[in-house]
Structure 1
Amino acid sequence: MLTLHTAPLLRRTPGGEPVPEHAVLVGGDRIQAVGPLAELVEAYAGVRVRRWPGTLGPGLLHDGPLPAAPTPRERVHALLRNGVTAVLVEHLAEPALRAAADRGDLLALSAAVPPTLLVGGRADLAVHGVDGACLVTVVAGRIAHRRA
């Protein structure tokens, strides 16, 4: 099923120029299109549209040790609550932590790669509010965190 994720502002990279009224079309675990919301709604009639407050952009890369928490699962969830969808593999040395990251579909990268929204790329997205708090994290096309 195709889903359009949209917010008042969209950034293709974390520090990129925000553009209004744009959206990301997700099919399965891939980005199918990125562009003006009105054009995508017209081109994909009947598509499910998820409207989020804040700024939509790529999921973030975490390049340090994972936050402390009682269990590996909670350490991974702490990342998801911040919009993180990828982590450097060097910080997943513990087998239980690596397993939790794999279950959460976090990308384990051997080198830092700047996150960006690319057609054909994995659908890793995050929405941040005006206060900087993460409202939604989408990992490989599925909602992995939604702020209550």
Structure 2
Amino acid sequence: MLTIHAGADGAALVVDGGTIAAVGPLDALRASRPGARVRSWPGTLRPGLTHEGALPPAPSPRERVHALLSRGVTAVAALPDDPALRSALDRSGLLPARRAPEPAPGARADFAVVDGSGACLATLVGGRLLYRRA
């Protein structure tokens, strides 16, 4: 299913499965894909962050990964040695990469939505909404 993710500034991304199909102004993308679902966000779309160093402390591996997602992280520079933590990272789909990919046509749909203060509102990894601030 095609989904257009639109920021409050009018910038938008078309996500087809786990890939970005197009980038551009919301009006143009909506006109070129009339059947697409539109998800409007009260912030701006931006590339995901790359986390370097140890993962944040938390009671469980899942919660440690969730802490990254809540910051807009879509890639992890160094994978941990802990098998339980690596498993949680694998399940999330976070990339083991030195740099998170830029949102561009043909790229994996990894991006974040941030508000005016820079706080993360949502994180999408491989086209999946993995974090959304309540």
TM bucket by the smaller chain? Answer: over 0.9
Q: 1:74 aligns with which of 63, 67, 80?
A: 63
Deviation for aligned residue 1:64? 1.7
Structure 1 counterpart SS, 2:64: helix
Q: 1:103 aligns with which of 77, 91, 103?
A: 91
- Counterpart of 1:125 in structure 2 is 111
Equivalent pairs counted in the alignment come to 134
Q: What RMSD in Å do the two structures reach over aligned CA positions? A: 1.1
- Counterpart of 1:113 in structure 2 is 99
Tell me, in whole angstroms, the C-alpha distance in 2 between the residues paired with 1:102 and 1:108.
9
Structure 2 counterpart SS, 1:122: coil
Q: Which runs of 4+ in 1 moved over 3 A?
A: none
Tell me, in whole angstroms, the C-alpha distance in 2 between the residues paired with 1:35 and 1:125.
15
Deviation for aligned residue 1:113? 2.2
Q: Following superposition of structure 1 onto structure 2, how do residues 1-148 of structure 1 map, counting pairs within 5 Å?
A: 1-9=1-9, 21-88=10-77, 90-109=78-97, 112-113=98-99, 115-148=101-134
Deviation for aligned residue 1:144? 0.3
Deviation for aligned residue 1:114? 5.1
Maintained 8 Å contact 2:69/2:123: yes
Unaligned runs of 5+ in 2: none
Tell me, in whole angstroms, the C-alpha distance in 2 between the residues paired with 1:51 and 1:34.
15
Maintained 8 Å contact 1:4/1:48: yes
Tell me, in whole angstroms, the C-alpha distance in 1 between the residues paired with 2:31 and 2:79.
43
TM-score by length of 1: 0.86
Structure 1 counterpart SS, 2:76: strand
Tell me, in whole angstroms, the C-alpha distance in 2 between the residues paired with 1:93 and 1:49.
40
Structure 2 counterpart SS, 1:78: helix
Percent identity over paired residues = 54
Tell me, in whole angstroms, the C-alpha distance in 2 between the residues paired with 1:77 and 1:123.
18
Letter in 1 for 2:40: R
